[in-house]
Amino acid sequence: MIGLIAGITTVLGDVLTADAMYESAMRFAIVLAFAAVGEWVAEKAGTLNISIEAMMIGGAYTAAVTWGAVDVVPIALLAGVLAGVVVALAQAHLSHQLTIDQFVVGLTLNLFVLGLALFLDSKWEAVTSVVKPTEVPLLNDIPLVGQALFGQPWPMYLIALVVPIAWWLVFRTRWGLEVRSVGDNPQSADVSGIHVNRRRREAIMVAGACAGLGGGVLVLGQISIAGYESGHVGLKGIIAIAAVIFGGWTLRGTLMGCLLFGYFFALQQTLPSLGHRINAQLSASLPYLVALVVTAVFATRTRQPRALAQPFVRGLT
């Protein structure tokens, strides 16, 4: 027992003092954050959008293929955004115009995009090389967090734009006010002249753009990834949803959730290189286990948008 505790303490000590750990965790957290911010906007409007996974996959594959074709990172990222928006268009119109159950649409889209990317990848294999880290001089020499915060590939820093824009959109524009109202009380919003399903569709588009960008950053910015592979996204979209739940539908909390889950993804990648042996299956499922436990702890505590996951059809109460 004492040996076990001592073992855990040394592992923890190594993990907490390794620069690589912070760097890797930050990378995973940022990728998750793109998707999570998008999902947060969609959930604010009342959609529990599980096709965020499909949007990430679409973004990742398209960005990788575009990079292989034109070799320009911004264009590749833009292509990723576009792919995310295309998936979002499908989700939005099927679930908030034809009023098909949003989970049914989301699940089908997830399987569709996963299969499509797998099939296309067998024809046009997407090979990428990693964008070189941009190192901010001096600041990246800060011990522990220097590399994590100031030594990332440049697409990672786009998160510093996306988060404030999303915040401003939701809390400081008329559109955002309407989005929040259709997420909380669609009937009242409808009566006051807001087009409920249109706002919800638009919020899903925002989610698609963010998640597509996240997918692009995932394939272009991650070390040790060369091209698109089927398992890369591997339910990271669902983890992003868990991050929104963890954050209690606040933007700040959502980002904290991304950091938390990013940390556990990083554990899986970094522990072996630190010389610790950990059961492969356990470390692979750790982020998902943590996500499950964390949502169980936090799901009740916080106020979710009241009409979350409820379809709106005029005349139904």
Partner 1 sequence: MTTPEPVDAGVGTTTPAGHRTAKLVGLYLVAVAIALSASAGLIAITGGPWRKVFTALIDGSVRNPGRWGDTLAEAAPLLIVALGAIIATRAGLVNIGQEGQLAVGAAAAAYVATNGSGPLVLVGALLAGIAGGAVWAGIAALFKYWRKVPEVISTLLLVFIASQGTGYLLTRTFLLLDDDPNKPNRVQTSAQVDAATRVGKIHMFGNEFPWTVPAALALAIVVTVMLSRSIWGFRLTVLGRNARTAQRIGVPVVIAGASALAMSGAFAGLAGVSMLAAGSANYRYTPGFANNVGWEGLLVALVARNRPLACIPVALVFAMLRTGSGFLAATGVERSIVDVVRSLLVLALLVPPAVSAIQRRRAVPPPAPVSTDEPIVTVAR
- Pick one of 75, 112, 145, 154: the residue that binds partner 1 (CB under 8 A): 112
- Pick one of 2, 275, 279, 303: the residue that binds partner 1 (CB under 8 A): 279
Residue type, 197: N
153 phi and psi angles, rounded to 5 deg: -60, 145
The residues in 223-242 that bind partner 1, with binding defined as CB under 8 A, are: 234-235, 238, 241-242
Nearer to partner 1, 187 or 295 (CB): 295
Sequence-separated (6 or more) residues with CB below 8 Å from residue 56: 35, 84, 211, 212, 214, 215, 218, 233, 236, 237
Q: CA-CA distance, 218 to 12, in Å (whole number)? A: 27
Nearer to partner 1, 134 or 295 (CB): 295
Q: CA-CA distance, 127 to 63, in Å (whole number)? A: 10
Nearer to partner 1, 120 or 145 (CB): 120
Coil/strand/helix, residue 48: coil
The residues in 89-108 that bind partner 1, with binding defined as CB under 8 A, are: 90, 94, 98-101, 103-105, 107-108
Give least dist CB 139 to partner 1, A.
37
Q: Are the C-beta atoms of 258 and 162 separated by less than 8 Å? A: no
Q: CA-CA distance, 236 to 56, in Å (whole number)? A: 8
Nearer to partner 1, 224 or 281 (CB): 281
**Residue 86, interface with partner 1 (CB under 8 A)?**
no
Nearer to partner 1, 221 or 227 (CB): 227
Q: Are the C-beta atoms of 76 and 60 separated by less than 8 Å? A: no
Residues of this chain that interact with partner 1 (CB under 8 A) are 48, 50, 90, 94, 98-101, 103-105, 107-109, 111-112, 114-116, 118-120, 122-124, 234-235, 238, 241-242, 245, 279, 281-282, 284-285, 288-289, 291-292, 295-297, 299-300, 309, 313, 315
